[in-house]
Amino acid sequence: MSEKRLSKKPLIKENCELKNTELGKFTEIGMLNFFENVKFGDYSYTGQFCFIQNAIIGKFSNIAAMVRIGPTDHPMKRPSLHHFTYRRKMYGFDDKDDFEFFEKRKERKTYIGHDTWIGHGAIILPEVKIGNGAVVASGALVTKDVAPYTVVAGIPAKPIKKRFDEDVIKKLEEIKWWNWSYEKIKQNLDDFLLDIELFVKKHY
């Protein structure tokens, strides 16, 4: 049974760790999630066991279980890949860690658009941008930007189809219903059950 969400306060399930994270209204974080350097938009939610770093996630994003967004890299151009070269304090090699290395990691932002669906077990690499309304299939490995309202799947992920024709996509991008107030969404709730053409005709 789904929980009634009358409070704008984020719902954070058990055993989560959130570092430097900003959560929007009506958001929900599934159990055993790890967030670091994340901005999480209104109404977005995750399933269980998600690991998200250095990401900006839009509103109404639907993120399934076991999704990995913004996985961090090891230093491939150094003699060793191991983190003793940047987590130096851990091994007593230095009294400070490699600040510059960690700052560069933070700058490699991943962007997830509004009203997106990220399927179970998908991985989205750093600096990738997922457009509004896009769908990432379960198990996909996304290495390149995904256009708005496009469905991608596979390893590496490739476009499968567009959800709507280009005219409808253009109009949806201009309507920007995800920026509507709570009251306006509530007043127009039945419209979200309409055929897409009728929705666009009414609100464009």
What is the set of active-site residues?
74
Report the SS3 class of residue 89.
helix
**Lookup: tokens for 189:** 């709730």
Report the SS3 class of residue 112.
strand
User: Residue 106: what are its φ and ψ, rounded to 5°?
Assistant: -60, -35
Query: Alpha helices of the chain — where are they, by DSSP H?
Result: 99-107, 166-175, 182-187, 196-203
Buried b / exposed e over 149-186, threshold 16 CB at 10 Å, is bbbbbeeebeeeebebeeebbebbeeeebbeeeeeeee
Distance CA 91, CA 60 (A): 42
Distance CA 170, CA 155 (A): 28
